[in-house]
Amino acid sequence: MSDIQVQNDPSETEPPWLRGLNAPQREAVLTTEGPVLLLAGAGTGKTAALTARMAQILYTRKAWPSEILAVTFTNKAAREMRERIGAMVGSAVEGMPWLGTFHSIGAKLLRRHAEVIGLQSNFTIIDTDDQIRLLKQLIQSEDLDEKRFPARGLAGLLDKWKNAGK
């Protein structure tokens, strides 16, 4: 008999979401205690590292899917992240209600706690075009001079007041 021992290839025993990550990405994924800041340029693998980190946290049962907050800037990025996590961990991604854009998560929080700020949970969020259309209707219904009070100008003024906290 030989004294030589055969060692398994580590890539065969590690979870698939760790394969192909570089050292800084792997460190971010395996650091499951406390927050991690990933700061890097476009196309450097931030989304890959973040989705792998979420898969690692779920796999090691450090958190349930409903306990993870993952905020993106765009709907496209949120969709991509959801698809990637789904490919890694399967249906657990369906239990992640806090994966989305700043706006969608903010709206979800507002709806969940609407009564605290005097709203009903079925409030409507209107976009800029709807705001202009509504202001035009108000200007007409109050018989105001549209040249003196243009809808876009009023919208800008309201936005300025909103941003100033008035």
State which residues form the domain around 109: 10-117
Tell me: pLDDT of 7 over 70: no
Tell me: pLDDT of 10 over 50: yes
Please, which pLDDT band fits residue 116 given cuts at 50, 70 and 90? very high
Model confidence, pTM: 0.69
Q: Among the three residues 78, 96, 117, which one is the final residue of a domain in this structure?
A: 117
- Is residue 86 within 8 Å of 93, Cβ to Cβ? yes
CATH code of residue 31: 3.40.50.300
Same domain for 95 and 46? yes
The structural domain count of the chain equals 2
> What is the CA angle 56-99-159, rounded to 5?
145
Helix (H) or strand (E) holding 70: strand 70-72
Same domain for 66 and 133? no
71: helix, strand or coil:
strand
- Residue range 61-84, pLDDT digits in tens: 999 999 999 998 889 989 999 999
Mean pLDDT of 109-117: 94
Tell me: pLDDT of 4 over 50: no
Please, which pLDDT band fits residue 11 given cuts at 50, 70 and 90? low
Same domain for 142 and 96? no
Same domain for 69 and 91? yes
